Structure 1
Amino acid sequence: MEKKITNPWKWQDERGYVQAVEVKQVTGTLYCAGQAAVHPDGTSSDADMPTQLQLALQNLEQVIREAGYACSGIVRLTVYTTSSETFVNTCFEPYKEWAAKHGVQTAVTLMEVNALFETLNIEFEATVVI
């Protein structure tokens, strides 16, 4: 796979994402369903958003890994949250740390929604290439 990052500006570097990702010579593409803070027994977490963030990211990692891909191959990530303000104030730094740890350079969209399933307040939908 050949990956090219396009960042016309520098400000996004501090925010943990890129403006565009071009991929060529891809041998596989994985489209991940929204991964949220759902425990292995299928129950939804009722914890606060930072706690749900950690579980949701663990679930995303597990799906990607078990499919034979790596988090560093995430090229598109949509973050659904019930509160953009809470995400920015309590989850943005942990997300950036997670992205740096896994070498994730992805185009990101943060979207506030009225509700997610049951008690969930954050969900990640990813496209991953290899």
Structure 2
Amino acid sequence: MEKRVINPWQWQDQRSYAQAVEVKQPESILYCSGQAAISADGISSNSDMKTQLLQALENLETVIHTAGYSCSGIVRLNIYTTATAELWECFDIFREWITRHGVQQALTLLEVKSLFETLKVELEATVVKT
């Protein structure tokens, strides 16, 4: 497999994403449903944004590892949030996670009116086998 990051500019580097990611001949591709702050027994969190973001990242990691993939294989990540300003206040957590796992992904951030029950942030990923 060959993976190439396309960044015609440099400003996105400070925001922890790539403008595009090209993957040639992947071994396999994993499409992850949106992962949010839901406990192992199915209870939605009513915690603050920081706590929910940490749980959503942990849940995403669990799904990826359970499938036999690595977080470094994330090539596309969509972030849905009910409060962009709140998410931005704890975005360093996300950037540290991206750096720790060596992720270089295309990214879309969308503010939505609501998510399931009490959720504030949801992460949807496409992962390739590296």
CA RMSD between the two structures:
0.6
Aligned to 1:129: 128
- Listed as ranges, the gaps of 5+ residues in structure 2 are none
Identity fraction in percent: 60
Aligned to 1:51: 51
TM-score of the superposition, structure 1-length normalised? 0.97
Query: Aligned partners of 2:40 and 2:98: how far apart in 1?
Result: 23
Q: What's the offset of the Cα at 1:91?
A: 2.3
Aligned to 2:112: 113
Aligned to 2:7: 7
- Listed as ranges, the gaps of 5+ residues in structure 1 are none
Amino acid at match of 1:42: G
Query: Aligned partners of 2:93 and 2:48: how far apart in 1?
Result: 14
Query: Aligned partners of 2:48 and 2:72: how far apart in 1?
Result: 27
Q: What's the offset of the Cα at 1:25?
A: 1.4
Aligned to 2:87: 87
TM-score of the superposition, structure 2-length normalised? 0.97
Query: Aligned partners of 1:115 and 1:91: how far apart in 2?
Result: 19
Amino acid at match of 1:97: E
Secondary structure of the 1:127 match is: strand
Map Cα deviations across residues 9-59 of structure 1 (whole Å, 9 max, x no partner).
Answer: 111111110100000010100000000000111100000001000000000
Amino acid at match of 1:71: C
Q: What's the offset of the Cα at 1:87?
A: 1.1
Map Cα deviations across residues 59-117 of structure 1 (whole Å, 9 max, x no partner).
Answer: 000000000100000000000000111111x2211100000000010001000000001
Moved over 4 A (4+): none
Matched pairs, number: 129
